[in-house]
Every structure is written in structure tokens, then in C-alpha cells.
Homo-oligomer: A and B are copies of this chain.
Amino acid sequence: MAITATETETTAPGAFGPAAALSCRECGERYDLAPRFACEFCFGPLEVAYEFGSVTREAIQSGPNNIWRYAGLLPVPGNVAELPNMNPGLTPLVRADRLAAELGMRSLHVKDDSANPTHSFKDRVVAMAVEAARTFGFRTLSCSSTGNLAGAVGAASARAGFRSCVFIPAGLEEGKIVMAAVYGGQVVAIDGSYDDVNRFCSELIGDPAGEDWGFVNVNLRPYYAEGSKTLAYEIAEQLGWKLPEQIIVPIASGSQLTKIDKGFRELVELSLVEDRPYKVFGAQATGCSPVAAAYEEGHDVIQPVKPDTIAKSLAIGNPADGPYVLDVCRRTGGAVARVDDAAVVDSISLLARTEGVFAETAGGVTTGVLRKLLDEGSLDPAAETVVLNTGDGLKTLNAVEAGVTATIKPSLDVFKEAGLF
């Protein structure tokens, strides 16, 4: 695939590795690798297009124990592992035998992204944005965030020496606010929902005063979003270079789900895994489930909603990639489903009790949807299945009711009388 685009003047040769251009997901128009995110002709979203070189399992396996082992598949320079970055990834794929037994399944794994440096999958996407921001010469990193992203941007900015200023909706969980602020950057709370924060950032980015600001999920979004592909690569490698048959992914903007699908397809294209069918299932909380609603009603258009759920990290009422999520789930034979907040809380406990994984609310959503789809018969209990936990229960402590069993004096008699043995 020949391209005519030349790289921008700020871009050193090889700065984006195998990335060849940005291309419009709607009309296919191609652009230089610049900090742009929307097509000038049709306003469609831009994504990274590649010309991959030779990528082998052996080369990947001899790489670093983080996402940079897949540098040959990402828009990053070849020496990326030596640059100051948070180096996320290669998180555990937990063989969930006890949960599988409880649910009557044959083979279930939990991809536990709470092991990332700031304990959510956002470290993956921010790591990409940091490299793009470095190449483009930005000085400040920014984002609109439901919480996890703010922490990831704060930490990565500190590590890489950027100033940071992040925007969150007022009223987030304490753990998420502290984790965003502790790295020394600015944290600005906006009176309103995440969708209000997002609109505000779109306004901000047009202002000349912000010309050296890289908004990881706005003007750096095409690069940023590619980070989610690493979830697909890792899952396949950790399954022994094999695609799962079923995967359950949470939906916030929907970007992660579409990039996992993109990652699986690339692995097949590059003959790194066998081409076998896989089904992608999307998971939402009922209190913010515009994609699930569109799926159930057979629509292609997403009707925005006003979120009302404890799953704040998924509370995006107007998900940018919603239509593409519908495409992926329908094409692969999956589905989009939703569970209410009570099921989310119950599923967090189930996952903790059976597998020792303390998920944040998003992990409760995916595990809840796993249970629901099994109950409904939409998920095959005999097929190799992966469920994603994308965040950490420590950041959403208020979602669970867990405390001490008893408080006693240090006496064996008191302990026995309380029936605690």
C-alpha cells in the first residue's frame, strides 16, 4: 500500500515506527501523521494506518515485559523502551477456574489491567499519547476524564517531564481525585457531567493559548486509541498465540472495544495467530447504556443519555465510537448487554471471592454481563472466554460494602465466645 503523504516537519523519521498515515474511518481520506483527529472532508474520526514490517512471535517474546514488546505494531519509535514512559502492560491473564466452576464454564480467563502502573488500562493509551506528544513538541498534557485517565496522565506527565492539566467532572471518587492530583499537575473539576467536560475541552483546544497542549483523547486521540490494541496482543500471546472464542469488553467511549477487534485482525493478517472466529461482547451499566439500547432495538444510531450509575468510569452518555462498537459486535456474532448497579456490586464481590481480583465498577459490569449472557444462553459456556477487568477496586471503595467482621479485645476467650473460630 503506497502512500504519498510526507511526514510533518516536527516529525523525525521513524518517530511513528510502522505507522504510515492517518486515515479517515468513514471516507478513507489519508493525512500526514500530525496532531489531528477529524477528517477535513467528512468530519469522520481519523485512525492510524500501518505498513507493517516483519513481526515474529520470537521477536515479540524477546522484547521487554511491557507493551513495548509490540512496538513493531504501534505508532512509536523503535527505541521507545528507552524513553521515560510508564511502561504499562503485560498484565496478568488470570486463569479463573473457580469462577468458571461457579458459572458452569469450561475455560475462563480474567485479563486484569489493575496491575498497570496507575491501576487501570488507561496507562496503555496514555503511553502512546506521551510518545506522540514528545514527537510533536507539546509541553502540556491534558485530557477530559472520568477519573482513571486523569491519574494516568498525571503520572505519565511526571515521569516524562511534561506539565499536566486534566479535567474531570465534579463529584468523582476520592481515590481518583487524589491519584490525579498527587503527581503535581493541575486538576480542574467541571460542574457538570463527563460529556460537559468533553465539550469544554473541545472548546479549549481551539484557543491559541493552548497551542502547545496535547489533549491525549482529543488532538492525540488517533495515537492514544491505538494503545488498546495491546490488550488484544497480550491476550492472544498469553493464551499461547491463540485468539479467544469470546471476549467481554466494557464500553465507555467504545474505543477500547473497537481497537481490541483491530488488534485481533492484525494478528491474523500478520499470521501471528490462526484465523478462527471470535465473538466480541460489549458491556454497559444500565444507568448509562446507550449502545446496549441501540443494539437491543436494532438501531445504527446511538441516542445520547444522561448517565446515572455507580460505574463512573463508563459514564459516557454520548460515546464517540458507539456505532463502530455495534459494527464489531454484530459482525463477530457477539452482542451488547447491560446490567444494573446491584448486579455490578454483586459481581465485584463474586470476582473477589472466587479469584482474589478486586475490580473497580467497570469490572463488575463486565463480570455481571458475563453472568447475564450465560443465563440467557447468548454465551457458550464451553468456549474459551476472556473477561476484562480494566480498573481497580481501591479507586471505587464506596461501591462495595466490606468491613470488619468484628472488633474485639485481644483475648482468646472473647474470640471463642464471638463464635469466630
B-binding residues in A (CB < 8 A): 65, 84, 86-87, 90, 92, 95, 97-98, 112, 115, 117-119, 154-159, 161, 165, 168, 170, 174-175, 177-179, 181-184, 186-192, 196-197, 199-200, 203-204, 207, 209-210, 348-349, 352-358, 392-395, 397, 400, 402-412, 415-416, 420-421
Contacts and interface: CB of A to CB of B under 8 A. Distances in A.
B410 A182 contact: no
A403 B173 CA distance: 11
Give the secondary structure class of A's interface. mixed
Contacts of A203: 412
Contacts of A95: 84
26 contacts: A86-B356, A98-B158, A112-B117, A119-B119, A119-B394, A158-B352, A170-B407, A175-B394, A177-B404, A178-B397, A181-B402, A182-B348, A182-B358, A183-B356, A188-B404, A188-B408, A189-B406, A190-B407, A191-B408, A191-B409, A196-B410, A199-B410, A203-B412, A204-B415, A207-B412, A392-B394
A404 B354 contact: no
Contact of A175 (B209, B352, B397, B404): B397
A84 B181 CA distance: 37
Contact of A188 (B159, B192, B395, B406): B406
A182 B181 CA distance: 27
Contacts of A400: 178, 182
B404 A156 contact: no
A95 B194 CA distance: 35
A45 to B, nearest CB: 23
A321 to B, nearest CB: 22
Contacts of A187: 403-405
A170, A356, A412, A416, most chain B CB atoms within 10 A: A356
Q: Which 3 A-B pairs have the closest CB atoms?
A: A155-B356, A159-B356, A181-B402
Contacts of A411: 200
Nearest to A348: B182
Contact of A394 (B165, B210, B394): B394
Contacts of A416: 209
A403 B170 CA distance: 11
Contacts of A154: 356
A157, A349, A403, most chain B CB atoms within 10 A: A403
A178 B86 CA distance: 27
Contact of A190 (B119, B192, B353, B410): B410
Contacts of A199: 410
B117 A200 contact: no
A181 B403 contact: yes
A403 B178 contact: yes
Contacts of A357: 117, 155
Given A183-B352, A188-B404, 7 more contacts: A115-B115, A158-B355, A177-B404, A179-B393, A184-B353, A199-B410, A203-B412
